[in-house]
Amino acid sequence: RVLTIVLNYRTAEMTLRSVQAAWREMAGLDGEIIVVDNDSQDGSFETLQSGLRAPWAQGAPIRLVASAVNGGFGAGNNVGIRAGLGDGSHPDYVYILNSDAFPGPGAIRRLIDHLETHPEAGFAGSYIHGPEGDAHVTAFRFPSILSELEGAARLGPVSRLLERHKVPLGVPDTTRRVDWLAGASLLMRHDVLDRIGLFDECFFLYFEETDLCLRAARAGFQTHYVRDSHVAHIGSVSTGMKTWTRMPGYWFDSRWHYFSKNHGRGYAALATLAHLGGGLLWRVRRLVQQKPAADPPKFLRSLLIHDLAFLLRRPAATGKFQGPAARTVIGAKAE
């Protein structure tokens, strides 16, 4: 049994298109869809309610719920996971799908078939491409001190030396094991989530999938990239990332929380120093070769100030970064 979760934040019309594509691909599967409106406050909930009365949705097991707080990507998906199936039971699989992502023919079934035949894998994700067919990089290694240096330096000799530490894996040609996958189209075993927990809600956006896959790996479960599961993805519609002029504070929060939670505060500080060192190398190269900027304005300064403040801050009693307030779920069937 499969529970598909589509998280909406101010993209109601696109979310409806995504849900319709997902429902089409769930034909013949024992499954349900939950649409979570992540406290959009722009009329999205009402638009979704109306849209789910369309003829294509009549009789379909699709529920619409609203989160009373926008706690971010992980928290919003957790709302759907906790809601479970309509009869109150747990599914075998949870499938999370971005509101601007559209599964191609057989995409969901191929992920299920893969996990059914690969018990060592806890998670499986799709090959993601843009609307025009351009491949998106969604398969990655776990970040580390050396990957921070390599990614920030952008120097051929450094990248060749640290080839095995690069975070992006490019676009794999075949199905393979990876460290982590972007969550645009990701199928997860529910019993793995029972064992490792749901998304860490201290992450508002970014690094939440990385953290979840790392917890799965530490529990002995692999993450697999399934090349023949194709999903079209527009990208950055809800976050507005393509129009950013400065890196938002929650990105720095998430990065620090990922490193300090999983490796300790000292490791997080060294990762930041490695990024600063690589960034300075890149800026020397830019000055000499007259290359254009590659980072948002004042990125290194913001990184240093942010992480220094977090390093000097006394840890909370729980030992965890303090995330958003508790969330409430309000049920609302799309009838």
CATH number at residue 90: 3.90.550.10
What does residue 18 show for φ and ψ, rounded to 5 degrees? Answer: -65, -45
Would you say residue 242 lies in a domain?
no
Q: How many domains does the chain have?
A: 2
Cα separation, 224 vs 126, in Å, equals 9
- pLDDT attached to residue 243: 52
Buried b (16+ CB within 10 A) or exposed e, 198-214: bbbbbbbbbbbbbbbbb
Would you say residue 29 lies in a domain?
yes
Would you say residue 244 lies in a domain?
no
The tally of CA atoms less than 13 A away on the side-chain side of residue 110 is 18
Q: By the 8 A CB rule, do 293 and 286 touch?
A: yes
Q: In this structure, are 254 and 205 located in the same domain?
A: no
Q: In this structure, are 192 and 76 located in the same domain?
A: yes
- pLDDT attached to residue 236: 60
Q: In this structure, are 136 and 225 located in the same domain?
A: yes
Q: What is the mean pLDDT of residues 20-26?
A: 97
Residue 252: left if φ>0, alpha if ψ -120 to 50, beta else—which one? Answer: alpha
Q: What is the mean pLDDT of residues 292-305?
A: 92
Q: In this structure, are 94 and 71 located in the same domain?
A: yes
Q: What is the mean pLDDT of residues 70-96?
A: 96
Would you say residue 303 lies in a domain?
yes
Q: In this structure, are 58 and 106 located in the same domain?
A: yes
Q: In this structure, are 181 and 271 located in the same domain?
A: no
| Short-list 70, 1, 11, 6, CA closest to 34 | 6
Cα separation, 81 vs 221, in Å, equals 19
Q: In this structure, are 108 and 219 located in the same domain?
A: yes
Would you say residue 187 lies in a domain?
yes
Q: What is the mean pLDDT of residues 105-131?
A: 97
Banded pLDDT at 323 (limits 50, 70, 90): very low
What does residue 288 show for φ and ψ, rounded to 5 degrees? Answer: -75, -45
Q: In this structure, are 208 and 296 located in the same domain?
A: no
Would you say residue 287 lies in a domain?
yes
Would you say residue 319 lies in a domain?
no
Question: Distances from the Cα of 94 to the Cαs of 111, 191, 260, in angstroms?
Answer: 11, 10, 28
Would you say residue 318 lies in a domain?
no
Q: By the 8 A CB rule, do 302 and 272 touch?
A: no
Q: In this structure, are 120 and 217 located in the same domain?
A: yes
Task: Specify the 3-state DSSP secondary structure of 250.
Answer: helix
Cα separation, 215 vs 180, in Å, equals 10
Q: What is the mean pLDDT of residues 278-287?
A: 94
Which own/partner pairs from 162-168 qualify as long-range (CB within 8 Å, at least 24 positions apart)? 165/141, 166/141, 167/140, 167/141, 167/142, 167/143, 168/137, 168/139, 168/140
Report, in this order, helix, strand and coil percent for the chain, each rounded to 5.
40, 20, 40
Q: In this structure, are 160 and 254 located in the same domain?
A: no
Continuous segment of H or E residues that includes residue 156: helix 156-161
Host domain of residue 173 = 2-236+324-333
Q: In this structure, are 232 and 258 located in the same domain?
A: no
Q: Among positive and negative, which fits the CA dihedral 134, 56, 42, 32?
A: negative
Cα separation, 332 vs 169, in Å, equals 41
- pLDDT attached to residue 318: 42
Q: What is the pLDDT of residues 33-52, one digit of tens each?
A: 999 999 999 999 999 999 99
Pairing of strands 62-67, 329-333: antiparallel
Cα separation, 253 vs 230, in Å, equals 32
Q: Which residue type is seen at 206?
A: Y
Report field, pTM of the whole predicted structure over 0.75:
yes
Cα separation, 203 vs 254, in Å, equals 5
Banded pLDDT at 320 (limits 50, 70, 90): very low
| pLDDT reading at 319 higher than 50 | no
Q: In this structure, are 206 and 227 located in the same domain?
A: yes
